Amino acid sequence: MNIVLLGAPGAGKGTQASMIEEKFSLVHISTGDIFRANIKGGTPIGKIAKGYIDAGKLVPDEVTCKIVENRLGEEDVKGGFMLDGFPRNIFQAEQLDKFAKIDVCVNIDVDIDLLMDRICGRRVCACGESYHVSTLNGETKCKKCGGTLYRRDDDNPETVQKRLDTYFKETAPVADYYKKQGKLFTVKSGKGSPKEVFAVIAEKLKEY
């Protein structure tokens, strides 16, 4: 089973991704994580990506598509993968169809007014876990691995606003792209806990 996870910044893609990864043994591929690792490692890709990410813009398609195509060519994804953060515009979705077969697009739909607070209150761990300050009670370490939690550089109000603008302009239309292919599954997130949202997604993914 090959899936695409879609949703605005702050929709809870990362949280759902780690639960899906565990239950369905899919290889989790997050383009955001790949870029952040490249920035940390000071690679040429990292140098290109940083300016775009700090500005809340998309990294150019030719860079991003190549990374994903290469990654999907590796052996470990043969048993199924989950893309998180890709495709982020129609062009990327079209390119993806040329080098992979997608079974379903899980679209996490969240009320816009929840997003700003969710992202600005987000604290992440290098292992991929993320938390919200409102439930951390001052805790500064990751529950899963003990790593020190931190706020992502692009999780500040100004950059978040730009990321949301980019999302509505470029990424939201990707849902329609998969709808036309009969592959879209939308789950409402917001009032429900991450576990409840996951239960709905898991029920759907059992079909594949």
CA distance 96 to 92: 6
Interface characters, 44-63, with ligand ADP (x: CB under 6 A): --------xx--xxxx----
124 counts as binding Zn ion under rule CB under 5 A = no
Question: Considering only residues 142, 184, 197, 201, which one is a binding residue for Zn ion as defined by CB under 5 A?
Answer: 142
Give the H/E segment covering residue 4. Answer: strand 2-7
Q: Under the criterion CB under 6 A, does residue 32 sit at the interface with ligand ADP?
A: yes
Q: Which option in ligand ADP, Zn ion, none does residue 35 bind, with CB closer than 5 to 8 A by kind?
A: ligand ADP
Q: Which residue's CB is nearer to ligand ADP, number 92 or number 107? A: 92
Pattern 153-182, binding to ligand ADP, x per CB under 6 A? ----------x-------------------
Contacts 24+ apart (CB under 8 A), 164-171: 164/8, 164/9, 164/112, 164/115, 164/116, 165/56, 166/56, 166/57, 166/58, 167/8, 167/9, 168/8, 170/58, 170/88, 170/89, 171/6, 171/8, 171/88, 171/89
Residue 9 binding target from ligand ADP, Zn ion, none, CB below 5 to 8 Å by type:
ligand ADP
